[in-house]
Amino acid sequence: MIDTTDGTFAGDVLESDVPVVVEFTAPWCRPCRAIEPWLQELERRHEGRLVVARLDIDANLAVPGRYGVLSLPTVIVFADGEPGETIHGAQPRRRYEEAAARAAAGSGT
């Protein structure tokens, strides 16, 4: 899992050769901390076919504003520089697994 910022988001996410699952999070967000191990596991399971990144919304205001992030956690799957599937709030583990599998399958690698 990489930490991305307003300054590195374009390179880390939008210009990535593989889909990127971005978790919009904050240090005080307990549901965010609860899903992070699941997201890290998904990245390991789909190694080379997708990347997982997290963005701290308290320290980075521009990117969350650009993508309309209003609640935490919000997870957005980016592919080819475009936002796709969005998951709002803490959801069952299966929901993240399905989104990651769809993204990894579409990566073409």
Which of the residues are catalytic? 29, 32
Nearest to 85 by CA among 41, 60, 59, 50: 50
Nearest to 35 by CA among 96, 82, 85, 76: 96
Q: Is residue 108 helix, strand or coil? A: coil
